[in-house]
Structure 1
Amino acid sequence: MAKLLVVDDEADLEILIRQKFRKKIREGIYSFVFARDGNEALALLKEHDDIDVILTDINMPGMDGLTLLTKLPEANPVIKAVMVSAYGDMDNIRTAMNRGAFDFVFKPVNFDDLDTTIEKTLQHVAQLKSTLQAIKENNILKMYVDENVLNFMTHQEFEKSLLDNETVEGSVLFIDICGFTAITENAEADLVVKMLNNLFDVIVKEIINHRGHIDKFMGDAVMAVFKGDYHMDRAIEAALAAKERIAGIESVDLGGDAFKPRVSIGINSGEMISGNIGSVSLRRLDYTVIGDTVNVAQRLQGVAKPGQILVSQQVYEQVKQSFSLQEIGPVQLKNKAKPVSIYEVLA
Structure 2
Amino acid sequence: MPEYILFVDDEKLIKRLVSHYFRNQIRKGEYEFIFAYNGIEALEILRENPLINLVITDINMPEMDGLTLLGKIREFHENTKSIIVSAYEDIKMIRQAMSLGACDFINKPIDFQDLENTISRTLDYINHLKKNSYLEEQTQLPKTQTNQISVVSQLITESVYEINNPINWISGNLQEAQVVIKDLINNLQLCQQQFTDIPPEILQNIQEHGREDLVSQLSKMMISMQVGTDRLEQIGNNLTTQIKQ
TM-score (norm 1): 0.45
Q: In structure 1, what is the equivalent of residue 11 of structure 2?
A: 10
Give how far 1:132 is off: 1.4
Q: In structure 2, what is the equivalent of residue 132 of structure 1?
A: 133
Alignment of 1:181-330 (within 5 A): 212-214=164-166, 224=167
Alignment of 1:99 onto 2:88 = no
Where structure 2 has 5 or more consecutive residues not aligned to the other structure, the ranges are: 185-224, 241-245
Distance (Å, rounded) in 2 between the aligned partners of 1:98 and 1:73: 11
| TM-superposition CA deviations, 1:16-56 (whole Å, max 9, x none) | 11111111111111101111111111111111111121110
Letter in 1 for 2:77: N
| Change over 3 Å in CA distance of 1:244–1:39 after alignment to 2 | closer
Amino-acid identity (%)? 35
| Change over 3 Å in CA distance of 1:136–1:86 after alignment to 2 | same
Q: In structure 2, what is the equivalent of residue 161 of structure 1?
A: 151
Distance (Å, rounded) in 2 between the aligned partners of 1:93 and 1:84: 9
Distance (Å, rounded) in 1 between the aligned partners of 2:47 and 2:55: 14
SS at match of 2:10: coil
| Change over 3 Å in CA distance of 1:163–1:60 after alignment to 2 | farther
CA contact (8 A) 2:9 2:37 kept: yes
Give how far 1:80 is off: 1.2
CA contact (8 A) 2:125 2:157 kept: no
CA contact (8 A) 1:78 1:128 kept: no
Q: Between 52-61 and 130-139, report the one with greater CA deviation.
A: 130-139
Distance (Å, rounded) in 2 between the aligned partners of 1:162 and 1:73: 22
Q: In structure 1, what is the equivalent of residue 60 of structure 2?
A: 59
CA contact (8 A) 2:9 2:38 kept: yes
Q: In structure 2, what is the equivalent of residue 188 of structure 1?
A: none
SS at match of 2:106: strand
| TM-superposition CA deviations, 1:136-187 (whole Å, max 9, x none) | 23444559xxxxxxxxxxxxxxxx734524499x9x99xxxxxxxxxxxxxx
CA contact (8 A) 1:7 1:55 kept: yes
Higher strand share: 1
RMSD (Å) for aligned C-alpha atoms: 3.8
Q: In structure 1, what is the equivalent of residue 197 of structure 2?
A: none
Distance (Å, rounded) in 1 between the aligned partners of 2:16 and 2:66: 20
CA contact (8 A) 1:86 1:108 kept: yes
